[in-house]
């Protein structure tokens, strides 16, 4: 029987689950989705494959649980970025854009191309879409509060601007190939961020 390293069995399982999710994130970021499996995740923290299956049924299940873990965290950060309600809309849009660029350029966002690479059952795809919708909801709410029509659609379209900026900042993490070649035409990261926020704000205001 595995040694219990927490005050209760429930705490031990929660700690073990968190360690497995951390290991899965590390594998996904460093080696890609094809290196991810219950066995590989267990090996990283010294847990037998049979024990790992108590937490994950498959590689797709690992990815689905990573999404459930990551997206609510980032949704909360995005919502905090556009607070408080009633502030100048351009300021709220730019604050949202900065936080969204952080997310799209993070290893957490690598989950999206990973999920597309292996495919998911229909119910899992629906859930991922729901969670992705939570990422644009804070911006949609800010637009709605400002009296704009079609706020959800505007927020969805604005996400495309954020993704384009992130591809220029960290294309490998965003899953879109190699960075633009260095040279006279290459923009520094600070300029890319500012231009992205400018385009985002002009598109919405």
**pLDDT tens by residue, 68-122:** 898 899 999 999 999 988 899 999 999 999 999 998 878 787 787 787 777 767 7
d(CA 92, CA 89): 5
Q: What is the mean pLDDT of the chain?
A: 85
Classify the C-alpha dihedral 13-61-71-143 as positive or negative: negative
Q: What is the domain extent for residue 9?
A: 1-56
DSSP symbol at 105: T
pLDDT of 7 reads 63
**What does residue 34 show for φ and ψ, rounded to 5 degrees?**
-75, -15
Residue whose pair of structure tokens reads 């997206």 in the numeric block? 71
Residues 70 and 2 in one domain: no
Residue 165 contacts residue 192 (beta carbons within 8 Å): yes
- pTM for the whole thing? 0.78
User: Domain containing 130 — which CATH number?
Assistant: 1.10.357.10
Total domain count for the chain?
A: 2
Average pLDDT over every residue of 130-147:
93
Q: What is the pLDDT of residues 27-65, one digit of tens each?
A: 988 888 899 999 999 999 999 989 999 999 998 889 889
- With a pLDDT cut of 90, the percent of the chain lying above it is 51
Q: Determine the Cα angle at 28 with ends 173 and 127, to 5°.
A: 90
Helix (H, G, I), strand (E, B) or coil at 186: coil
Residues 90 and 41 in one domain: no
Buried b (16+ CB within 10 A) or exposed e, 53-89: eebbeebbebbbbbbebbbeebbeebbebbeeeeeeb
d(CA 2, CA 148): 57
Residues 80 and 120 in one domain: yes
pLDDT of 3 reads 54
Residues 22 and 73 in one domain: no
Residues 87 and 6 in one domain: no
Residues 11 and 108 in one domain: no
Q: Which of 70-74, 127-131, 181-185, 188-192 has the lowest mean pLDDT?
A: 181-185
Residues 129 and 104 in one domain: yes
């Amino acid at each position: 029987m595995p040694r219990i390293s927490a005050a209760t069995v429930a705490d031990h399982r929660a700690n073990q689950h968190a360690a497995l999710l951390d290991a899965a994130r590390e594998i996904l970021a460093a080696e890609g989705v094809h290196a991810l499996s219950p066995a590989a995740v267990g090996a990283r923290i010294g847990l037998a494959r049979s024990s790992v299956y108590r937490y994950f049924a498959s590689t797709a299940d690992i990815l689905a649980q990573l999404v459930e873990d990551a997206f609510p965290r980032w949704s909360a950060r995005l919502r905090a970025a556009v607070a408080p309600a009633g502030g100048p809309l351009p300021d709220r849009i730019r604050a949202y854009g900065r936080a969204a660029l952080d997310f799209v350029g993070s290893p957490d966002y690598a989950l999206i191309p990973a999920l597309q690479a292996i495919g998911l059952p229909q119910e899992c795809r629906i859930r991922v879409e729901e969670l992705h919708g939570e990422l644009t909801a804070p911006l949609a709410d800010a637009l709605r509060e400002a009296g704009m029509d079609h706020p959800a659609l505007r927020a969805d379209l604005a996400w495309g601007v954020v993704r384009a900026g992130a591809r220029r900042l960290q294309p490998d993490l965003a899953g879109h190939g190699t960075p633009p070649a260095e040279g006279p035409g290459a923009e520094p990261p600070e300029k890319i961020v500012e231009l992205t926020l400018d385009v985002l704000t002009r598109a919405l205001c």
